[in-house]
Structure 1
Amino acid sequence: MRPTKSVAAIALVALFLAACSSGTTSPSAAATGGPASAAPSQGSIVSPSASAAASESAAASASAAPTADTCAKDGLALVTPGKLTIGTDNPAYPPYFLENKDGSKTEPWELGDPTNGTGFESAVAYAIADQLGFSADEVTWIVVPFANAFAPGQKTFDLDLNQISYKPERAQTVDLSDGYYFGNQSVVAMKDGPVAKVTSVAALKDFAFGAQVGTTSYDAIVSIIAPSAEPKVYDTNDAAIEALKQGTIDAIVVDLPTADFITNVQLEGSAIVGQFDSGTPEHFSAVLSKGSALTACVNDALAGLSETGTLDALASTWLPFQDSVPVFAP
Structure 2
Amino acid sequence: MAQKHNVIVAALLAAIAMVMPALAQENTPNDPRLFTPGKLTVSTSEPSYPPWVLDNNPESGEGFEAALVYALAEQLGFKREDVVWVDVTFDGAIAPGPKNYDFSIQQISVTPERAKVATFSDVYYQSDKAVIALPDSAVASAKSFADLKQARWGVAVGTTDFDYVTNVLGIDNAAVYDDQAGVFQALQGGQIDATIAALPTALYATAVQVPEAKITALLPKDPKDEGLALLFASGNPIVPWINEGLAAIRDNGTIDELVQKYLVADPNIPVISE
Shorter-chain TM-score tier: 0.7 to 0.9
> What is the alpha-carbon distance in structure 2 between the residues aligned to residue 266 and residue 126 of structure 1?
27
Task: Indicate how the Cα distance of structure 1 residues 96 and 150 shifts in structure 2: closer, same or farther if over 3 A, else same.
Answer: same
Residues 1:246 and 2:189 aligned together: yes
Residues 1:294 and 2:250 aligned together: no
More contact order relative to length (CA 8 Å, sep ≥ 6): 1
SS of structure 2 residue aligned to 1:225:
coil
2:39 to 71, 83, 94: 83
Following superposition, the deviation at residue 266 of structure 1 comes to 1.9
Confirm or deny: 8 A CA contact 1:147 1:214 kept in the other structure: no
> What is the alpha-carbon distance in structure 2 between the residues aligned to residue 161 and residue 275 of structure 1?
24
Task: Indicate how the Cα distance of structure 1 residues 146 and 195 shifts in structure 2: closer, same or farther if over 3 A, else same.
Answer: same
Query: Which residue of structure 1 aligns with residue 212 of structure 2?
Result: 269
Query: Which residue of structure 2 aligns with residue 52 of structure 1?
Result: none
> Which range moves more in the overlay, 121-130 or 317-326?
317-326
SS of structure 2 residue aligned to 1:183:
coil
> Which range moves more in the overlay, 189-198 or 318-327?
318-327
Query: Which residue of structure 1 aligns with residue 94 of structure 2?
Result: 150
Task: Indicate how the Cα distance of structure 1 residues 279 and 212 shifts in structure 2: closer, same or farther if over 3 A, else same.
Answer: closer
Following superposition, the deviation at residue 120 of structure 1 comes to 0.3
TM-score normalised according to structure 2 size: 0.85
Alpha-carbon RMSD across the aligned residues, in angstroms, is 2.0
Following superposition, the deviation at residue 126 of structure 1 comes to 0.8
Following superposition, the deviation at residue 211 of structure 1 comes to 2.0
> What is the alpha-carbon distance in structure 2 between the residues aligned to residue 168 and residue 154 of structure 1?
19
1:197 to 136, 141, 155: 141
> What is the alpha-carbon distance in structure 1 between the residues aligned to residue 154 and residue 218 of structure 2?
16
1:57-72 maps to which residues of 2 (within 5 A)?
70-72=26-28
> What is the alpha-carbon distance in structure 1 between the residues aligned to residue 175 and residue 109 of structure 2?
20
Percent identical across equivalent pairs? 37
> What is the alpha-carbon distance in structure 2 between the residues aligned to residue 195 and residue 68 of structure 1?
59
Residues 1:137 and 2:137 aligned together: no
TM-score normalised according to structure 1 size: 0.71
> What is the alpha-carbon distance in structure 2 between the residues aligned to residue 176 and residue 284 of structure 1?
9
Higher radius of gyration, 1 or 2: 2
2:151 to 185, 207, 228: 207
> What is the alpha-carbon distance in structure 2 between the residues aligned to residue 313 and residue 227 of structure 1?
36
Confirm or deny: 8 A CA contact 2:31 2:37 kept in the other structure: no
SS of structure 1 residue aligned to 2:140:
coil
5+ residue gaps, structure 1: 1-66, 100-111
Following superposition, the deviation at residue 292 of structure 1 comes to 0.6
Following superposition, the deviation at residue 218 of structure 1 comes to 1.2
5+ residue gaps, structure 2: 1-22
> What is the alpha-carbon distance in structure 2 between the residues aligned to residue 75 and residue 140 of structure 1?
15
> What is the alpha-carbon distance in structure 2 between the residues aligned to residue 68 and residue 310 of structure 1?
29
> What is the alpha-carbon distance in structure 1 between the residues aligned to residue 97 and residue 222 of structure 2?
35
Query: Which residue of structure 2 aligns with residue 121 of structure 1?
Result: 65
Following superposition, the deviation at residue 177 of structure 1 comes to 1.0
> What is the alpha-carbon distance in structure 1 between the residues aligned to residue 142 and residue 109 of structure 2?
26
Query: How many residue pairs align between the two structures?
Result: 251
Question: In the alignment, residue 74 of structure 2 is paired with which amino acid?
Answer: D
Question: In the alignment, residue 303 of structure 1 is paired with which amino acid?
Answer: A
> What is the alpha-carbon distance in structure 2 between the residues aligned to residue 318 and residue 170 of structure 1?
27
Following superposition, the deviation at residue 228 of structure 1 comes to 4.5
Following superposition, the deviation at residue 328 of structure 1 comes to 1.0
Task: Indicate how the Cα distance of structure 1 residues 143 and 279 shifts in structure 2: closer, same or farther if over 3 A, else same.
Answer: closer
> What is the alpha-carbon distance in structure 2 between the residues aligned to residue 69 and residue 323 of structure 1?
47
Task: Indicate how the Cα distance of structure 1 residues 228 and 234 shifts in structure 2: closer, same or farther if over 3 A, else same.
Answer: closer
